[in-house]
Chains A and B, each alone.
Chain A
Amino acid sequence: MNALEVGDLRVRFGEVPAVRGVGFAVAPGEVLGLVGESGSGKSVTGLAVMGLLPARATVTGSVRLRGAELLGGTDRELSRVRGRDLAMIFQDPQSALTPVHRIGDQIAEAVRAHGGTTRSRAWRRALDLLDLVGVPDAARAARAYPHQFSGGMRQRVMIAMAVAHDPAVIIADEPTTALDVTVQAQVLEVLKTARQATGAAILMITHDLGVVAGLADRVLVMYAGRVVESGTAEEVFYRPRMPYTIGLLAATPLLDGGPPVPIPGGPPPSGALPPGCPFEPRCRYASAPCRTTEPSLTERAACHNPQRPQPRPAEGPGVRRTRSADVILQVTGLRRAYGAVQAVDGVDFEVRAGETLALVGESGCGKTTTLMEILALAAPQAGRIVVLGRDVSALPRQARQELRRDLQIVFQDPAAALDPRMRIADLLAEPLRAHGVAEPEVERRVCELLGLVGLDPDFAGRFPRGLSGGQRQRIGIARALALRPRLIVLDEPVSALDVSVQAGIMDLLATLQLNLGVAYLIVAHDLAVVRHLADRVAVMYLGRIAEIGSVEAVYGTPAHPYTRALLSAIPVPDPRLERGRSRVLLPGDPPGPARAPAGCRFRARCPLHTELGAADRERCAAEEPRLRPAGAGAGADQSVACHYSEGLIR
């Protein structure tokens, strides 16, 4: 018997449909991947199965757990099932644990929720569960509060609570999305352990095709509240039929292979779906029936014109532009401490005209702090920042104001970065007016800017809330371009966007750079995105640069063991590759900058360090490695901060 069977599930919020007839079955021990972009209805589906949607949602259809119908059950009936037979892991471990209760109490509560145990036995079981999910020193950890835990550890706690009663089905809703890549790799391992320990069926809800490729036996692709493609992982990844799936795979940035290809447009708002196939407005293969009738899901895909995937366009002409000699930004020995926390601890790099440097690294590595120090255009605590040949520490007020023209920023979350009460025209005009541009010129420039970022001039009169995420980010970029800067600083410019839209923004940034010659300094955590965005990349760890060099060199011949681990941790959207490869699994969390150890900061987690002889290890502990040329076999301008990196490049 199937562990979970969902039939014709429909969810409406008032008049707005969120899920429009979803059906699937999961067998015991099977992992079913539920893939889709934001608004596709995948999370709502998960919550509907749990019966945890808010009261204003109308749910119809059927949800059968081991053959027993759950839909329409009372709170009392469902409470008996939830947590015992049907468990859920939520996305954001930051907010999913109650901040005021101890970790151990929260797990013990899950154990006791279904009766039959004493308080002390539940506590002991909580300790066992913490052990199972790999939380070190369980007895101490159980007495800690959630805020004393890192994101990865909290997510382990979530998994511990989910497996407390050996459930038949575990629903995991974006379980690793909020985590750093190296931690994501660990948590996915824990999830695999949990599945083996319980034999549960897992419904894996995610937008990350790489995660699904590594874990799922079968995959459902959702779009606009419906399943548009289903099949085994191999079928969906290697022989997709629905143009949306094909487009999604092509839009996913890869560590190797050609550039990602965007899907034009954005998903339709769920309140106003087109009469035919909801993907029709974005579909290259749309024909007459697509506009009038919505295709139903036959064997594999819900599509009138099933297609075959095209090979990815080859990478652009391999010749990189020669580096300009014109240095736009030079940072030397930059340090920044917040109290005892040394967030940035001696960073050197330069950005030249027309090139893109990306700072990458996990949370807490100091990349955003570096950015903010540069943007402040003020004397840093230590070190030197030179923008366009001028040392910012000695800048008079007037000159600093002038310099701001040449240094602009694009923020991560376009929804938060645009004042919702201002029209697009005013948002774009604001920097111009602030710098005293005459009014007729402002109007002309606003139109020009909209054109530059590929939007119609009639966007000028609209408000940000009427725009999609991708369009908003275009406005953010246009605003940064308004004063014709020489350097734009971009803080995670595409990480808040859906995959199908990401590639479009990446294209736009490349085109603008080519045409305007502007330099970019990008902060990002996604190495696959950076590979297609940047010319040069600096990998940061605990406030320092571990490795820096051209993208080809750093990705082709990574010299630092940390760079290697980061690259290896990224899940690849290719089931065979993803399952076949061995992964460098870094132990532990990225430590907080307050506890930077003496010597090499990375050595506690370093896979290379463990293979060294005792004498060599001593050097790692005693002497902090400085950036030096990576040497033979590596790129010409590749530098690495590791004493023993030579052994890695062959």
Chain B
Amino acid sequence: MARFVLRRAVGSVVLVVVAVSLAYLLAATALHPRANFEGRSPRPPERVIDARLTELNLNDRTPLPDRYAVWVTGLLRGDLGRDFDGDPVAGELGRRIWVSLRLLLIGTVLGGVLGVALGACSAVRQYRLSDRLITLASFVVLAVPVFVLAVLLQMGAQKVNDATGTRIFQWAGQDGLSHLVLPTVTIVLAQVAVYSRYQRSMMLDVLSADFVRTARAKGLRRGTALRRHALRTAVIPMTTYFAYNLGLLLLGAVFIEKIFGWHGMGEWLIDSIGRGDVNAVAAFDLFAAGLVLVAGLLADLAQAALDPRVRVSR
């Protein structure tokens, strides 16, 4: 088992390097930090601009391979470069990473648990009213882009605030539980919609499985048999979905953070793209790639923990 984890970890590191390199090269080609000086008056002399850009390793007149080499050398020392204001990217990353993770973690865990529960319920009550309502609701959420959903929730929250004359929901400021509610709800809703669909179909596959019938033949009540045998088995494939869904979740979170003024990684990414901050964009990609691969590793471990057949074949 330990060897397996180690092998996977090494493979993951290679993947992260490839992904981040590609992202850096793309960002360095597509973004134009020089444009930031265009609107300044008085416009600094070309020589000063060049010197400043070179200092930040953002100069588009330096050949791309050279810039990449500088960035990689820095990366190996743990230096992620500096942003446009000259501050170290690593520091900003460190500040924002937990802000984002708090949102993502709560969203994923709540979304996963609720989604599995709702999907399982939906399957057990197939074609009854509750199943149809759950199906309808999840399809509505799935059909709406996540930023539209966020804006709709915000409008709803505004109405509630106005009606009650309070500030139950907030989307300004940094910390505070009330600020966390709306973005979390948005993420959870989107996650529940996806997971409940998956779980419903997984559950339907095992509802009429022979081993569920065996469990009932032993004298287990229907509910107990479904929980201990059907759901326990049907939840295994969800670990894989969880890993691959995280990429989508991250993408959605970028918009959600921006909309709700949540000063996390997503907001930072959007602002950095606007400023042509190549190093910050690359740092975000490092974070995203690492997160997705860690999630994949966790999913594999979870699957091995849940399914003895997987454990043995390794």
Contact = CB atoms under 8 A, between A and B. Distances in A.
Given A79-B220, A114-B219, A95 B308 contact: no
Contact of B219 (A54, A82, A96): A82
A100 B214 contact: no
Contacts of B228: 109
Given A90-B213, A113-B219, A98 B233 contact: yes
B102 interface: no
B218 A100 contact: no
A419 interface: no
How large, as a class, is the contact surface on chain B?
20 to 34
A98 B220 contact: no
A50 B232 CA distance: 24
A88 interface: yes
Contact of B214 (A76, A145, A158): A158
Contacts of B211: 95-99
A79 B224 CA distance: 11
A80 interface: yes
Given A100-B232, A100-B233, A148-B312, A161 B218 contact: yes
B309 interface: yes
Interface residues of A, number: 33
Nearest to B308: A145
A597 B308 CA distance: 28
Given A75-B222, A100-B307, A82 B214 contact: no
A82 B218 contact: yes
Interface string B224-257: 0000110011001000000000000000000000
A544 interface: no
B178 interface: no
B219 A84 contact: yes
A52 interface: yes
B236 A75 contact: no
Nearest to B236: A100
A99 B229 CA distance: 9
Contacts, number: 80
Contacts of B216: 52, 79, 82
Contacts of A161: 214, 218
Given A75-B221, A145-B309, A96 B233 contact: no
Interface in A106-134: 109-110, 113-114
Interface string A64-90: 000000000001100111111001101
Chief secondary structure at chain A's binding surface: mixed
A100 B217 contact: no
A239 interface: no
A113 B220 contact: yes
B117 interface: no
B308 A83 contact: no
A312 B219 CA distance: 47
A462 B310 CA distance: 44
A52 B217 contact: yes
Contacts of A87: 217
B89 to A, nearest CB: 45
Nearest to B230: A98
Contacts of A147: 308-309, 312
Contacts of B229: 98, 101
Nearest to B220: A113
Given A75-B222, A98-B229, A90 B308 contact: no
B309 A99 contact: yes
A79 B221 CA distance: 6
Contacts of A80: 219
Given A83-B219, A96-B213, 10 more contacts: A50-B217, A80-B219, A82-B218, A83-B218, A84-B219, A109-B215, A109-B218, A158-B214, A161-B214, A164-B218
Interface of A: 50, 52, 54, 75-76, 79-84, 87-88, 90, 92, 95-101, 109-110, 113-114, 145, 147-148, 158, 161-162, 164
Interface of B: 208-211, 213-222, 228-229, 232-233, 236, 306-309, 312
18 contacts: A54-B208, A75-B221, A75-B222, A80-B219, A82-B216, A90-B210, A90-B214, A95-B209, A96-B213, A96-B214, A98-B211, A98-B229, A99-B308, A109-B220, A110-B219, A113-B218, A145-B309, A148-B312
The 8 tightest CB contacts between A and B, nearest first, are A83-B219, A113-B219, A110-B218, A95-B210, A83-B218, A145-B308, A98-B211, A88-B217
